[in-house]
Structure 1
Amino acid sequence: MLLGLVAGVLLDRVSRRPVLVVTDIGRGVLLAMICLMTAFHLINIGWLIIIMMLFGAMSLFNDAAYQSFVPQLVPRGLLTRANARLEQSAAVAQTSGPAIAGTLVSFIGAPFAILIDAVSYVFSGLVMASIKHQHIREKASDERLSEQIKEGLRWVYRHRYLGTLALNTHAWFLFNCMINTVFVTFALTELGFNTSTLGLVMTLAGIGAVIGTTFSTRAAQRFGIGRSMAFSRILYCPAGILMVLAPSANHGVLLTVTLLMIGFGQFLYGFALGIEGPLEMGYQQSITPARLQGRMNATKRSINRSMIVIGAPLGGIIADVFGFRTALWVAIAGLAVVGVWFTLSPMRDAQIDENVSS
């Protein structure tokens, strides 16, 4: 988490495009190292830990830089539309990626599949390097690192709308991670799904996300950004209820009912993600001054990831002690509270102010 806060300050001091280029190519090199070390029988758990720690650090800088770079390329009024297009591409990749990866592993083996992934990162870095963008260098701050970190924290958590959005999103990450941790084992053990069936129904979440991003901009134009996001935060609850109520079945009509309930639940969950993702991203980018973009994005992402560290073991512990369905019910109840909280908060009426100073 501390690295994320420091990363935010650093990103507000430098041009973000070189950071994106270096971290993309760097991650490709790290993945290629795994392939080479495997080929020469040099790989071990120690090296894997070191490589993945470096990979994670580069991903942290890349994610925050990417979210801070978009507002430099796109006019404020088009941020939600631009983020919807980006989220659409991401949803397609996340939906098709596992299937492609599985096919590659089957035909050429895991090391070569990772090598192809490495090439994709390098290609991404080269494409990023080709973007024409002139960085406007701002006067360097004389404040200490700690003071700049505090300034970023104050902006995120003392802002009337952004503070509510950040805290609500942190809570959402906690309960969402609990569901993600428990659901796969729940489906494989209690519902009796095989891995192919599980992969198929989880693909529906990706399809839902693609469709959701298609409607996100229209929803914001018709109902407002805040109300559209409130709808999404509420929708997670019934989506989860559909999945947790699915009966255990191995064959017959009951199995069909189970597949329909899980599949539709996954679709709704992805649809909610698709609607709110671009709106949340576009909104927080639009209200944040350019000099604070790096700190805002890195701060939110760091705390969100910290919630994952808490949510994953918490979901597992509850599932071990009280059962999978109980753990899912606890997480769904948490999502319900998050949805009601968001709906009753000032964020419900949030809109993008075109006149925010950059």
Structure 2
Amino acid sequence: MSVPAEDRGAPDPVPRSSFARYWAAAAISSFGTAVSAVAMPVLVVQLLAATPAQVGIVNAAQFVPYAVLGLIAGAYTDRWRRKPILVWSSIGRAVSLGAIPVLWLTGVLEIWMLVVLLLLFGSFSVFGFAATQSFLPRLVPRSRLVLANARLDQTDAAAQTVGPALGGGLVGLLGAPVALLVDAVSYLVDALLNASIRVDEPRERRPERNLLREIREGLRWAYAHRTLGPLAVSTHVWFFANGIAFTVLSLLALRSLGFTAFTFGLLLAVSGSAALLGATFAARFGSWLGTGPAIIVARAAYPIAWLLVAAAAWLSAGPVLLYIALAVHGLAAGVENANEMGLRQVVTPDALLGRVNANIRSANRTAAALGALAGGAAVGLVGDQWTLVAVMVVFAVAALIAVLSPPLRAMRSLPDSD
């Protein structure tokens, strides 16, 4: 597929304050999300007494819109300016999430209402994340994208470290529904900060638009590309495994092992701390080992992490193993994500970046939704122990797909263009 040469270049320089505001917005919303990571399972599992199947449905709800809207969101993200998409998607997420504690405090919240609100939340997220991942190359030179992604991942990991511990405390003090207000407010602050960014966003004027053709262009680049294609498939399998994994993890920790909201928050905080460490060294690790091999090594660590989680379900030392396992998982995520996102942003032309990001993320989130549903069903059928064995196997398949990609194995440094 031919791409105009001008679309391959780096964007014009923008003030550092623009990236700083973008970074701050991402940090604040990440902090709120980390609080929700504790509050939401407690609300669903303990307060609403959901069945394993209902837990899977709730976990899947916010991801289902990616399957329905993802391809369309990608095409329109490449048509529209990305900053307004960021702003309005954050406002939409704030409203839909903020409605949950309102319904709870009025005494009418039920599982089906929660599912509807999370579907709405996910719909705004589809557009928001398509714009987020495509907006960054407008703020920093492409040669520094891995470092910029690492900075964002460091902040996200820091939020995941402090947020769950604080979230557990807030849940204990105020209750899970009220704690969700922290996340809703964080999205409003996110919207204000992104609205204040000064950036030039020229849009290519095309007299004739064809939505289906534009969608096909994005799909072709994402899956026919010699490096992105295998990596995307591996990532989709990873998200399916992760959807199963964190559905069964909440049930295992909060029910089988008797974790409180605070200790469950500490468990997620351990993962966040390890991710912070991984993100800190992600660029250096990718430079030393090579971008592709760094992704492969990180992806190979996940089966090991969830082998430990599976062992935790069988052994009396379970809680200790859970903390170790989540640390390995977080460390791998911190190393992997910055290198993977940098690779995708560098090899994809700006004119296609919205579609490629949305297409891959939509497939990822669809896989996560299917994984969450499968996880809830599997726990109900065979129990959490055997479900975790299956999780380990699926993570291993994701790693194997990456290992078997010669272009990914051979990619030592990121090209200026592709």
Q: TM-score, normalised by structure 1?
A: 0.89
Match for 1:184: what amino acid?
S
Looking at structure 2, the residues matched to 349 and 264 of structure 1 have their Cα atoms a distance apart, in angstroms, of: 31
**Displacement, 1:313?**
2.4
The answer to whether 1:150 aligns with 2:210 is no
Q: Which runs of 5+ in 1 are unaligned?
A: none
Q: In the alignment, does 2:149 pair up with 1:83?
A: yes
Q: For 1:28-48, what per-residue CA distance to the aligned partner results, in whole angstroms no more than 9, with x for missing partners? A: 344445556666778777765
After TM superposition, list the pairs within 5 Å mapping 1:1-358 onto structure 2.
1-33=67-99, 50-108=116-174, 112-140=178-206, 142-191=208-257, 193-246=259-312, 255=317, 258-346=318-406, 347-356=408-417
Q: Is the 8 A contact 2:165 2:262 kept in 1?
A: no
Aligned-pair distance for 1:211? 0.5
SS of the residue aligned with 2:281? helix
Distance 1:317 1:15 in 2: 41
Do 2:313 and 2:384's aligned partners in 1 also have CA atoms closer than 8 Å?
no
Q: Give 3-state SS (helix, strand or coil) of 1:146's partner.
A: helix
Structure-2 separation of matches of 1:90 and 1:290: 25
Question: In the alignment, is the contact (CA less than 8 A) between 2:100 and 2:109 conserved in 1?
Answer: yes
Taking a change above 3 Å as real, the CA distance of residues 319 and 294 of structure 1, as seen in their structure-2 partners, is same
Question: Which segment drifts farther, 199-208 or 16-25?
Answer: 199-208
Structure 1 contact 156–166 (Cα < 8 Å) conserved = yes
In structure 2, runs of 5+ residues without a counterpart are 1-66
Amino acid at match of 2:279: T
- Give the secondary structure class of the aligned counterpart of 1:246: helix
Offset at residue 348 of structure 1 (A) = 1.6
* 1:326 to 1:27, Cα distance in 2 relative to 1, 3 A: closer
Match of 1:125, as an amino acid? A
Bigger Cα displacement from structure 2, 307-316 vs 63-72 = 307-316
Distance 1:113 1:309, change over 3 A: closer
CA distance in 2, matches of 1:18, 1:222: 38
Q: Which amino acid aligns with 2:351?
A: R
| Structure 2 CA distance for partners of 1:50 and 1:329, relative to 1, 3 Å | closer
1:203 Cα deviation from its structure 2 partner = 2.1
Segment drifting more, 14-23 vs 221-230: 14-23
The separation in 2 between residues aligned to 1:100 and 1:22, in whole angstroms, is 28
2:74 aligned partner, one-letter code: G
Query: Given the two structures, how large is their TM-score scaled by the length of structure 2?
Result: 0.77
Q: 1:42 to 1:4 in 2, by over 3 A?
A: same
Please give the per-residue CA displacement for 1:32-75, whole angstroms capped at 9, x wherever unaligned. Answer: 45556666778777765554433221111111100000011111
Task: Please say which of residues 53-62 and 148-157 is displaced more in the overlay.
Answer: 53-62
Residue 291 of structure 2 aligns to which amino acid in structure 1?
A: I
How much identity, in percent, do the aligned residues show?
Answer: 40
Deviates more, 1:46-55 or 1:296-305: 46-55
When residues 108 and 332 of structure 1 are mapped into structure 2, their CA distance, relative to the original with a 3 A threshold, is closer
Deviates more, 1:179-188 or 1:297-306: 179-188
**Greater mean deviation of Cα atoms: 296-305 or 199-208:** 199-208
* Structure 1 residues 292 and 214: alpha-carbon distance in aligned structure 2, compared to 1, 3 A threshold: same
Cα distance, 1:272 vs structure 2:
0.4
SS at match of 1:160: coil
User: Cα distance 1:264–1:157, how it changes in 2: closer, same or farther (>3 A)?
Assistant: same
- Displacement of 1:195 after TM fit? 4.6
2:150 is paired with a residue whose SS is: helix
C-alpha RMSD of matched pairs (Å): 2.5
Say how many residue pairs are matched: 351
1:183-237 Cα offsets, whole Å, 9 max, x none, are 2323445545455444333321111111110111111110100000110111111
Report Cα offsets for 1:220-275 as digits up to 9, x if no partner: 110100000110111111111122123656xxxx54xx333221111011100110
**Computing the radius of gyration over CA atoms, which structure comes out larger, 1 or 2?**
1
Shifted more, 28-37 versus 195-204: the winner is 28-37
Distance 1:197-1:248 versus aligned 2 partners, 3 A rule: farther
The CA distance in 2 between the partners of 1:113 and 1:183, in whole Å, is 21
Distance 1:79 1:342 in 2: 22
Q: What is the one-letter code of the residue matched to 1:84? A: A
SS at match of 1:98: helix
Q: 1:318 to 1:41 in 2, by over 3 A?
A: closer
Q: Distance in 2 between matches of 1:299 and 1:90?
A: 23
Q: Show CA shifts across 1:132-174 (max 9, x none).
A: 2011221226241111111111111100000011111001111
- C-alpha contact 1:225 1:279 (8 A) present in aligned 2: yes
